[in-house]
Amino acid sequence: MDPNPIERERTMSWKRPDTFITVLTVLLILTVGWVDYWTGEELSVSILYLIPISLCTWRISRGGGFIIAGASAIVWLMADIASSHKQGHPLVPYWNAGILLASFWFVVYLLSALKALQTGLEAKVEQRTAALRTEIAEHQRAEEQLTQANRELSQSREELVKALSDLHTTQLQLIEAAKLETIGRLAAGIAHEVKNPLMTITMVADYLAGVIPTGEPDGAAMLQDLRDAIQRANRVISELLTFSRPGEPVLMPEDINALAERALSMVKLEVVRNHIEVVRHFSEGLVALPMDRNKIEQVLVNIYMNAIQAMSKGGTLTVRTSLSPTLDQGRCPILIEIDDTGPGIPEPYLSKIFDPFFTTKPVGQGTGLGLGVSRQIIHLHGGSINLRNRPEGGVRATIRLYSKQGN
């Protein structure tokens, strides 16, 4: 089995310099011996032997240190014998060499003890480092698991919030559907009961038109009032029917600018009567969108009429068409914005304006179905409509319509 990579690296790093250290140690001993010979009895030179001894002990091993210490003592003895001129007992050099050898060995012992201590400490540090690394790795793993768990939890939460929102939307749709179903049933019944009398009244009006003398101004005026009343009652019933079952739109590519203009011509009389100035900002080159011309005209007339009725003392009706610069549902919608300069919609009413039968108009002027019908028609075209108060006053109606392939 392969040893620990750190241990292997350490062993290799120690083995490589062994030969070099040995050669260096031998050379150092010889050098010190040579210096010792030339300096004679200078005891301080003996300390120099500690250099190769320490080097060998520290870098190679204790055994090596003992051997080098022995070798140093022999070299010292040889140098001492060779350089000695003084008289004395012939065993003194051997005695000194013995003491020196003992001192050297003691140093070797001390150094090797220190070395062992250092190695032990290093091993402990390594062991502790490895343990810490393992611990850190485990912490990191645990942290990753925690992050993953958090992510999953967050995702679950988002899914839950979305599910809740979907549930709420579905609930609202169900309520709306139930409401529409009731209105639908009611509308069909009312339509039959109201439109038949209206038919009779229409026929009577046509009859009266033929019998009232031409020069009778009151008769003509009353006849016109009668026809207006029929038209109004019929509009209420028709809007109710349209609201309850708007029907699938018949889609044909249409130029939105042309439709906006045609719808404007339908409210021309009201525009003149209420002293309204019409401002057009039609963008050129807008792509033709698949639309049900009659239904979109109905929506635009509805919105124009609301705007005009909000400016009974005059004002400016601005109609703007453009390609939205921002992506919405992955496409750039075509925007139709209709601004008026009327008093605006009171904030509490803003959330109710599309509700059936909700109206802020005086009795007899609005059915409360126009905006609801308009929204249904726009939704059938895959678009959206919203109304908001403009900061500068008045209301802005914004219709967004999308092409199928994107713009």
Partner 1 sequence: MAKKRILVIDDEASITRTMKVNLERTGAYTVRTENQGRQGLTAAREFKPDLILLDVMMPDVDGGEVATQIESDPALKHVPIVFLTAIVTKEEAGRDGQEIGRHFFLAKPVNLETLIRCIEANTTA
Q: Does 115 bind partner 1 (CB under 8 A)?
A: no
- CA-based nearest residue to 63, from 117, 23, 115, 124: 115
Q: Does 210 bind partner 1 (CB under 8 A)?
A: yes
| Tokens found for residue 117 | 């201590």
Q: Which is nearer to partner 1, 107 or 209 (CB)?
A: 209
Q: Which is nearer to partner 1, 96 or 202 (CB)?
A: 202
| Tokens found for residue 265 | 């011509």
Which helix (H) or strand (E) element contains residue 233?
helix 217-244
Q: What number of chain residues touch partner 1 (CB under 8 A)?
A: 27
- CA-based nearest residue to 320, from 356, 284, 361: 284
Q: Which is nearer to partner 1, 210 or 215 (CB)?
A: 210
Q: Which is nearer to partner 1, 129 or 182 (CB)?
A: 182
Q: Which is nearer to partner 1, 26 or 188 (CB)?
A: 188
- Residue of 35, 92, 102, 199 interacting with partner 1 (CB under 8 A): 199
Q: What DSSP assignment string belongs to 87-146?
A: -S-TTHHHHHHHHHHHHHHHHHHHHHHHHHHHHHHHHHHHHHHHHHHHHHHHHHHHHHHH
Residues 372 and 367: their CA atoms lie apart, in Å, by: 10
Q: Which is nearer to partner 1, 247 or 393 (CB)?
A: 247
Q: Does 196 bind partner 1 (CB under 8 A)?
A: yes
What's the min distance (Å) between Cβ of 375 and partner 1?
17
Binding part of the chain for partner 1, among 48-56, 57-65, 186-194, 316-324 by CB under 8 A, reads 186-194
Q: Does 206 bind partner 1 (CB under 8 A)?
A: yes
Collect all residues with Cβ–Cβ distance below 8 Å to 365 and sequence separation of at least 6: 309, 359
Collect all residues with Cβ–Cβ distance below 8 Å to 102 and sequence separation of at least 6: none
- Residue of 234, 309, 316, 403 interacting with partner 1 (CB under 8 A): 234
Query: Between residue 275 and residue 314, which ones bind partner 1 under the rule CB under 8 A?
Result: 294-295, 298
Would you give the end-to-end CA distance of the chain in angstroms?
Answer: 68
Q: Does 228 bind partner 1 (CB under 8 A)?
A: no
What's the min distance (Å) between Cβ of 196 and partner 1?
5
Residues 207 and 217: their CA atoms lie apart, in Å, by: 17
Residue 251 · residue 291 · CB < 8 Å: yes
- Residue of 230, 236, 251, 287 interacting with partner 1 (CB under 8 A): 230
Q: Does 242 bind partner 1 (CB under 8 A)?
A: yes
- Residue of 26, 74, 107, 201 interacting with partner 1 (CB under 8 A): 201
| Tokens found for residue 179 | 């409401």
Interacting residue ranges for partner 1, rule: CB under 8 A: 188, 191-192, 194-207, 210, 230, 234, 238, 241-242, 247, 294-295, 298
